């Protein structure tokens, strides 16, 4: 699930209906954690790796022999230099072995989108090894997921950027407002809220006035942080690193598949191309001597998968009025006036398209590295991002879910029981969590909005580059999602194809069995 714009009043009823499925103000502060292993990174001694083996049943896998590890990799301030990172990054991870031959299985990296959404959503509600269920005594537990991706791949879920999910800078006791997502630190408390509207616990620092002081504010910075995270993770777990482990062959795992596979969704349309390109650039720097070869690791990327992703607003935004007006379900979610106005909001003089171009021209001149530290460029791109919301926002009046046009609000979304489960103090202790769980962080979203991150482009070109060097790219779109719809996905695929020589094979299909 992604959050490309703030919730308007029309969606307030949906939010309220979900409040009663998440924990109340009873404090569930994480216990002091004891890890099975705490070590310095073999790659960078300044980086600390702390992890443990979760208690049996915390996330029930298909086979008890499947190993699991969860914990943190801690990057001290200035690890990302020359990027201005004056805060600690504690990135939470949860790893699961494949059900079969983990010693030769691929390694799949999973990230949810947002920006600011936790990858625990993917773990518990999408393709992870387990799902949360209600037990006979009314409490929550887990059962294995039949079609979890761990059927054939080792799985690494991690919360990024900093402050998302279980990831944090400095653990701080505070209160979490379920309605707004705000974290309220002492001495101010949620005195005006009833107990069922907030939770007391431990969270990362909430810098309301300047969230960029504790997290990334561009996808490029997030990519750099993730590269550093993976360097230490792969060094600490060499048995799961396809680039360094012994060459073990298996008839169950084709050799061509046994690399690293980066999968993501929604805002992952930004993350996937940017992260993968950054990994490949770092690989090349190792080879040409720009990075020390013996103290860095290759990330052996085999594929990038983007599920219902927003890759490029300039290419995909025109799909909003088209999909709302004429979709695969015959639902006219907007009237003709809104349809025409929405098209005009994109293509009209001085509107979304022109502002995107102005943002990108400024970015290419003043901030080509995407560091988000040029105030004038940030302001120009933020203004463009806000302007472009006019293209998609008429749909809100329909009262339909932006994630499933077939559903009127409030929607029967997958239950949020996993959020309550993850805030149980026994579960927190089992996985080594140092802070309480939050599914999404509005401060991270605001940090990315402040630089107009979603408007900054070039990601279709990144995908074409990845394909050209032999990395497989999958663009996977369902036909009911509005906010990252299949019309926009098709437009991105055609853009990527136009940037590649005709000799490179491209496949398009609406038949899942053909994928």
Encode pLDDT of 72-114 as tens digits.
999 999 999 999 899 999 999 999 999 999 999 999 999 999 9
Model confidence at 152: pLDDT above 70: yes
What pLDDT shows up at residue 189? 67
User: If you average pLDDT over residues 337-351, what whole number do you get?
Assistant: 97
What pLDDT shows up at residue 23? 42
What pLDDT shows up at residue 507? 66
User: If you average pLDDT over residues 328-356, what whole number do you get?
Assistant: 97
Binned at pLDDT 50, 70 and 90, residue 384 comes out as very high
Model confidence at 6: pLDDT above 60: no
Q: Give percent above pLDDT 90 in the chain.
A: 75
Binned at pLDDT 50, 70 and 90, residue 454 comes out as very high
Question: Which one of 78-82, 197-201, 271-275 scores highest in mean pLDDT?
Answer: 271-275
What pLDDT shows up at residue 18? 33
Instruction: Give dist(CA 353, CA 175) in Å, integer.
Output: 41
Please state which CATH number belongs to domain 9-332+402-449+456-514. 3.40.50.1820
Model confidence at 154: pLDDT above 90: yes
Binned at pLDDT 50, 70 and 90, residue 301 comes out as very high
Asked if 86 contacts 213 with a C-beta cutoff of 8 angstroms, the reply is: yes
Write out pLDDT tens, residues 129-139: 999 999 999 89
Provide, for the chain, the percentages of residues in helix, strand and coil under a 3-state DSSP scheme, each rounded to the nearest 5.
Answer: 35, 15, 45
What pLDDT shows up at residue 251? 59
Least confident of 3-12, 173-182, 219-228, 489-498: 3-12
User: If you average pLDDT over residues 391-398, what whole number do you get?
Assistant: 96
User: If you average pLDDT over residues 289-310, what whole number do you get?
Assistant: 95
Instruction: Give dist(CA 1, CA 419) in Å, integer.
Output: 14
Asked if 70 contacts 431 with a C-beta cutoff of 8 angstroms, the reply is: yes
Model confidence at 8: pLDDT above 90: no
Asked if 462 contacts 471 with a C-beta cutoff of 8 angstroms, the reply is: no
User: If you average pLDDT over residues 257-283, what whole number do you get?
Assistant: 95
Least confident of 198-207, 271-280, 340-349, 402-411: 198-207
Instruction: Give dist(CA 129, CA 149) in Å, integer.
Output: 7
User: If you average pLDDT over residues 216-243, what whole number do you get?
Assistant: 96
Across all residues in the chain, what is the average pLDDT?
89
Q: Give percent above pLDDT 70 in the chain.
A: 88
* Dihedral (Cα; 356, 360, 363, 364), 10-degree rounding: 180
What pLDDT shows up at residue 211? 67
What pLDDT shows up at residue 515? 47
Model confidence at 19: pLDDT above 50: no
Instruction: Give dist(CA 88, CA 169) in Å, integer.
Output: 5
CB atoms closer than 10 angstroms to residue 378: 24
What pLDDT shows up at residue 11? 31
What pLDDT shows up at residue 28? 67
Model confidence at 68: pLDDT above 90: yes
User: If you average pLDDT over residues 163-172, what whole number do you get?
Assistant: 94
CB atoms closer than 10 angstroms to residue 148: 21
What pLDDT shows up at residue 169? 94
Model confidence at 9: pLDDT above 60: no
As a whole number of Å, the end-to-end CA separation of the chain is 23
- Position with higher pLDDT, 127 vs 503: 127
Model confidence at 477: pLDDT above 70: yes
Least confident of 38-42, 50-54, 173-177, 354-358: 173-177
Q: Is 152 exposed, middle or buried (0-12, 13-18, 19+ CB in 10 A)?
A: middle
Model confidence at 511: pLDDT above 80: no
Model confidence at 1: pLDDT above 60: no
Chain CA centroid to CA 375, Å: 26
Chain CA centroid to CA 109, Å: 11
Domain boundaries of the chain, sorted by first residue: 9-332+402-449+456-514
What pLDDT shows up at residue 179? 78
């Amino acid at each position: 699930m992604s959050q490309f714009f703030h919730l308007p009043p029309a969606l307030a009823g949906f939010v309220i209906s979900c409040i009663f499925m998440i924990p109340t103000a009873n404090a569930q502060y994480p216990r002091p954690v004891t890890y099975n292993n705490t070590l310095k990174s073999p790659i960078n001694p300044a980086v600390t790796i702390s992890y443990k083996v979760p208690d049996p049943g915390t996330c029930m896998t298909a086979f008890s022999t499947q190993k699991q590890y969860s914990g943190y990799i801690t990057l001290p301030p200035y690890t990302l230099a020359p990027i201005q990172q004056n805060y600690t990054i504690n990135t939470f991870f949860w790893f699961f072995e494949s059900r079969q031959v983990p010693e030769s299985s691929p390694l799949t990296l999973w990230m949810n989108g947002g920006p600011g959404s936790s990858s625990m959503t993917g773990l518990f509600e999408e393709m992870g090894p387990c799902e949360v269920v209600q037990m006979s005594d009314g409490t929550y537990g887990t059962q294995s997921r039949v079609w979890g991706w761990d059927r054939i791949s080792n799985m690494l879920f991690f919360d990024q950027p900093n402050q998302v999910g279980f990831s944090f800078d400095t653990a701080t006791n505070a209160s979490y407002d379920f309605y707004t997502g705000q974290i309220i630190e002492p001495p101010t408390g949620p005195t005006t809220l009833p107990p069922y509207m907030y939770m007391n616990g431990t969270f990362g620092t909430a810098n309301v006035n300047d969230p960029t002081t504790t997290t990334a504010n561009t996808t490029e910075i997030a990519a750099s942080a993730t590269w550093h995270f993976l360097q230490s993770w792969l060094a600490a777990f060499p048995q799961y690193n396809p680039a360094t482990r012994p060459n073990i062959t298996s008839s169950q795992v084709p050799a061509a598949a046994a690399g690293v596979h980066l999968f993501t969704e929604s805002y992952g349309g930004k993350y996937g191309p940017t992260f993968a390109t950054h990994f490949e650039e770092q690989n090349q720097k190792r080879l040409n001597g720009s990075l020390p070869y013996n103290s860095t690791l290759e990330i052996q990327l085999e594929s990038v998968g983007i599920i219902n992703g927003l890759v490029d607003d300039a290419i995909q935004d025109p799909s909003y009025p088209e999909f709302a007006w004429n979709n695969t379900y015959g639902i006219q979610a907007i009237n003709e006036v809104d349809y025409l106005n929405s098209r005009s909001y994109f293509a009209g003089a001085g509107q979304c398209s022109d502002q995107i171009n102005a943002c990108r021209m400024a970015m290419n001149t003043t901030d080509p590295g995407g560091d988000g530290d040029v105030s004038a460029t940030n302001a120009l791109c933020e203004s463009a991002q806000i302007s472009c919301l006019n293209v998609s926002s008429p749909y809100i009046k329909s009262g339909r879910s932006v994630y499933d046009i077939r559903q009127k609000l409030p929607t029967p979304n997958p239950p949020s029981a996993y959020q309550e489960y993850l805030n149980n103090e026994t579960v927190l202790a089992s996985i080594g969590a140092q802070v309480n769980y939050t599914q999404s962080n509005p401060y991270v979203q605001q940090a990315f909005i402040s630089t107009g991150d979603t408007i900054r482009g070039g990601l279709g070109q990144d995908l074409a580059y990845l394909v050209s060097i032999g990395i497989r790219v999958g663009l996977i779109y369902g036909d009911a999602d509005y906010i990252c719809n299949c019309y926009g996905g098709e437009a991105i695929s055609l853009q990527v194809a136009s940037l590649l020589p005709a000799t490179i094979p491209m496949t398009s299909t609406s038949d899942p069995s053909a994928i």
